[in-house]
Every structure is written in structure tokens, then in C-alpha cells.
Structure 1
Amino acid sequence: MKRILFMIFKYIYIVPCWFVKICLYGKSDKYSEEERFLLLKKITTRINKGGRVIIESFGMENIPKEKGYVIFPNHQGLFDVLAFLQIHPDPFSIIMKKEVSEIILIKQVLRLLKGQAIDREDVRQSMKVILKMTEEVKSGRNYLIFAEGTRSRDKNNLLPFKGGSFKSAMNAKCPILPVALIDSYKAFDTNSIKEVRLQIHYLKPLYYEDYKDLKSTEIANLVRDRIDIVIKENENL
């Protein structure tokens, strides 16, 4: 919490301007996906660096060259998306829990990214989101989904990955990009503004030929296991 307040007060003079820009870019179709993403990248990069958060990235060569893939990282907290907005080179949309998507600023950022809110208690609404995402991925849009469904509150330890999170990727027959987040929880969950370092590891993607014969739960377990191995190998570096 201290770091969030530190970031806000450090940039209090420009936060209103950023908020207005995010709203304008999100409401207007005259801005391309690249322009909207670049706006958020510039803002988050400045905020992250000003907030004394250093992000180290590995395996960037594993990011698919063709657009239309789904990123599946583990989920440690509110800072995760800020880390990806700074580091990831390609525009992406995001699937977010409905209750989180209604929070001010998060709501506007979700609109800017053309992301979608999912209500896990509403099966019909969830299916609509999955179908829409499938079509958008087929057309070349990238997505980011936290397959755990909620953030782990146990540092670098993972929750089970939900098979249903992989349905859209399976239906779109697109590349699945596993990503290991290490120490991302330290940014906002430690009550300090001391410099912190976190790691983002892009693993080798799974292509349709790799997973076409697997069930969604099997894919979920495979992705989780690969991420877990990378976390255990690197968390104490």
C-alpha cells in the first residue's frame, strides 16, 4: 500500500492529465490499437520506474512473431498487469473479473485495451466472453489471461490453473504463451517503498500441434507445471 500511495503522490500533478487521456483514447475509435497500447506503456513505464520497481525480462525471443496468441502468466497481484504493460512489446487485451473491472481507472484501462470483464458466476455471460475472445484472437488480437482465476496470496507459490481459461485459445487454435512472474507481489504487497526487483520469464509457446490432442485441464496442468519449474529455478537469484 505504501508504494501505491508513493506512486500517486509522486505524480499527483500529472495523474489527472493521464486519466483524461486514457478516457479519451478509450472512447474514440480514431486511435489505433498500437496508439492506445503505446499510451499505456509510456504511463506505466514512468510510474513503475518512479515507484522503484525494476523489471527484469527473460525469454523475449519466445514471444510468437505472428499476432493472435494468448499469454498465460501466474497471478500474484495488482502489479502484474503494470509489469506486462511496460515489458511486453505487442498490444494485448485482457480478461478481468467483473468485480475488479468496475473499479475507477481499472474500468477505463480495460476499455482502452478493449478487454472484457467475465462473471464466473454467470455461465451464459462467460460463454459469450469466450466466444468473442476466440473470434478476436483468430483475427489477430493478443490476449492476457490469469488462468488461476484469482491472485495467489502465497508469494511465488501457484494456485491450480483452471482448464476453462484455455477454452478460447483451444477454439482459436492459437499459440499459448506461458509466462512465469517472480516476486511481482513485492511491489504492492510489502509495506515498503524500497527498491524491488521482479522477473518476467517468457517460456516456449505451445502451438496447436502441441496441444490439439489434450483436454483443457491437461493443458492447464502442463502450463502450470512449466511455470512452476521456472519459478523454483529462479526465485532466489
Structure 2
Amino acid sequence: MKRIIFLVIRLIYRIPGWLMTIHRYNKHKEEVSFEERFDFTQRLIRKVNEKSRVNIHCYGQENLPEEQGYLMAPNHQGLFDALILIGTHDRPFRFVIKKELMNVFVLKDVLRMIDALAIDRENIRASVKVIRQVSKDMKSGISYVIFPEGTRCRQQNKMLEFKGGTFKSVMDAKKPIVPVALIDCYKVFDNNSIEKVDAQIHYLPPIFYEEYQDMSSMEVARLVQSKVEQCILENENKF
């Protein structure tokens, strides 16, 4: 909470303009391309990250496939996860999020602006509809981020079990999966401090369709989780 208050104070002169732009983009979405809306969001997030007293260490951007339409599958540590992803991934992408986030003040407007898809985990029919939409989008060249744990893990750099359902859309689309390891991102907002912290993001080598085509979704989930887990074990004491 202290860091959030600190950020609001440091960026108070920018916030009214940002909110007006977000409102305008949402009101006239059909007139503004997704790429333009994502670019605005990325510039906003990079400014927030710059002022947050977080040293961001990004690795493996060269591993990202040249062709768009892949799935990024990171572990989930908290609010800063989205900020570090948007801040370090140069090309536009979309999020699949839990529907509860669409009720959060201001955040819901940002998510709507960047075309995030909300999934209701209690509604199977609605969930299947989202999975089909994501698969269709990836086939057309739109990349996505889905957190395979389904919710954040509150045990620092530990992880919850990756869910197989996360990967059904990318498996149907026959597109690459990029495992993403987030390390120490929980420290940014969980430590209730404004002391400088280090946070890492590692884009790992992609897993292509040819490598997972004979696997079940649960086997794919375990494979991706093992790669993320190994990266965390190798790097969590780096700083």
C-alpha cells in the first residue's frame, strides 16, 4: 500500500490526463486501433515502473517468436506481474483475466481499453466461449498472456499447480507457448515499503506445436511449470 500511495503522489500531475485518455479511448474504441490503445497503455505503465523504485531485470526477449499469435504463460505473484509484462514486451498482446478484476475501480477501465477477456471460472459454458475466442485470435496473430495458476501464489517465489485448461486454446490454435518466469515481483506491493527492490522477468525459449502435439493439456501444463520452476531456482538469489 505504501508504494501505491508513493506512486500516486509522484504521478499526481499525470493521472488526470491518463484517466481522460482512458475514458476517451473506451468511449470511441471503434475509432482507435488496438495497437494504438496498447501503445498508450505501455507508455503509461513504463512511466509507472520508472517511478516505482523497482529495478527491473529482463532476460530472454530474443526468445520471443517473430510471428505473433503465441501464448505467454507466467507464474503469478501479484499486481506487479501485469506491469512488468506490459513494460518489457514490446509488441501488443492481450490478457485473459478472472472476471472479478472487471469490478475493480479504474483497473476495469484499463482492462477494457486493452481488450482483456474476462473468464468466469464458475460458468463452464462462458469459459469455453472465451477459450474458443482466444484460440481464434491466436490463429489470426494475436498473442495472449494467461496465468496458468488461475490465481496468485502468496508464497513468494513458490508456485501453485499450473492448470491444464490454460493451454487448451493454444493447443487448438497450434501456436507456440512461451514460459515466463517472474521472480521477486511480489516484493513490489507486498512488502508495504518504498525501499528499492529488484524484480526479474525471464522469457524462456518457446515450446512449439511439434514438441507438444502428442501431449495432453495436463502434460503440457506440467512441462511449462517445470521450465518456469527451474528458472526460478537458478535465479531467485541473483540480487
- Structure 2 length as normaliser, TM-score? 0.97
Cα deviation, residue 23, structure 1: 2.4
SS in 1 for 2:6: helix
* Aligned 8 A contact 1:26 1:113 in 2: no
Cα deviation, residue 200, structure 1: 0.5
Q: Which moved more, 1:47-56 or 1:212-221?
A: 47-56
Q: Which residue in the other structure is 2:13 paired with?
A: 13
Q: Which residue in the other structure is 1:234 paired with?
A: 235
How far apart in 1 are the matches of 2:195 and 2:122? 39
How far apart in 1 are the matches of 2:90 and 2:42? 9
Deviations 1:111-153 (A, max 9, x none): 1111110010110110111011111111111100000000010
How far apart in 2 are the matches of 1:210 and 1:133? 21
* Aligned 8 A contact 1:7 1:51 in 2: yes
How far apart in 2 are the matches of 1:106 and 1:142? 21
How far apart in 1 are the matches of 2:26 and 2:45? 16
Q: Which residue in the other structure is 2:136 paired with?
A: 135
Residue pairs, 1:8-157, within 5 angstroms:
8-27=8-27, 28-157=29-158
5+ long unaligned stretches in structure 1: none
Report how many residues are paired: 237
Q: Which amino acid letter does the alignment assign opposite residue 53 of structure 1?
A: V
How far apart in 2 are the matches of 1:92 and 1:211? 23
Cα deviation, residue 84, structure 1: 0.8
User: Following superposition, which runs of at least 4 residues in structure 1 exceed 6 angstroms of deviation?
Assistant: none
* Aligned 8 A contact 1:26 1:36 in 2: no
Q: Which residue in the other structure is 1:161 paired with?
A: 162
How far apart in 2 are the matches of 1:159 and 1:55? 24
How far apart in 2 are the matches of 1:184 and 1:40? 20
Q: Which amino acid letter does the alignment assign opposite residue 224 of structure 1?
A: Q
Q: Which amino acid letter does the alignment assign opposite residue 33 of structure 1?
A: F
How far apart in 1 are the matches of 2:137 and 2:83? 23
Cα deviation, residue 96, structure 1: 0.6
- Structure 1 length as normaliser, TM-score? 0.98
Q: Which residue in the other structure is 1:182 paired with?
A: 183
Q: Which residue in the other structure is 2:212 paired with?
A: 211
Task: Report percent identity of matched pairs.
Answer: 49
Cα deviation, residue 29, structure 1: 2.1
Cα deviation, residue 104, structure 1: 1.8
Deviations 1:158-207 (A, max 9, x none): 11000001110111111101000000001100011011111110111011
